[in-house]
Amino acid sequence: MALNAADPRQVKGAGRRQREREEQLRASVAAVMSLEAGRLVMWELLERAGVFRSVWSPNSEIHYKAGRQDYGHELMATLLETNEGLYELMQREARARDRKNDVTAAAEQTPPADTEGERT
């Protein structure tokens, strides 16, 4: 059914439905962000969107990257508007994962120490 913009009742009803839809989305985002697994997924989506890196490219790929990043910024804004505290928790968890991954990578690159008394 098409909206008749000249009918105040239809316009009011459409506005109400849009507000209800936005409230439902915010509640769903809050539910996802309340779970550690949900925060991990949201962080991964932000990283894939490229919100933390430059979109620069010497060719037309820059337009594609800019579009992804723009959507990522929209997602970031939704997460922050929904619950800034959970967004900050998500950031701390991501930094902790990065530190753990850095330590693991460094340990994998470190040669094992010679054991006492053994010669190679």
Give tens-digit pLDDT for 86-113.
999 999 999 999 999 999 998 898 888 7
Containing structural domain, residue 50:
33-94
Largest separation between any pair of C-alpha atoms in the chain:
92
* Residue closest to 90 by CA, chosen among 72, 74, 76, 101: 76
10 pLDDT more than 60: yes
Any domain includes 62? yes
Looking at every residue in the chain, the average pLDDT score rounds to 93
Any domain includes 53? yes
| Tokens describing residue 7 | 């009918």
Is the model more confident about 56 or about 114? Answer: 56
Any domain includes 118? no
Any domain includes 105? no
Percent over 70 (pLDDT), the chain: 94
Span of 34-38, 39-43, 45-49, 98-102 with lowest mean pLDDT: 98-102
Judged by DSSP in three states, 39 sits in: helix
Domain count, the chain: 1
Locate all alpha helices (DSSP H) within the chain, ordered by sequence.
8-33, 36-49, 61-82, 84-109
In whole angstroms, what is the distance from residue 100 CA to residue 63 CA?
A: 34
Any domain includes 116? no
Is the model more confident about 103 or about 1? Answer: 103
pLDDT, position 111: 85
Instruction: Give the dihedral sign, CA 11/17/21/23.
Output: positive
> 39 exposed, middle or buried (CB, 10 Å; 0-12, 13-18, 19+)?
buried
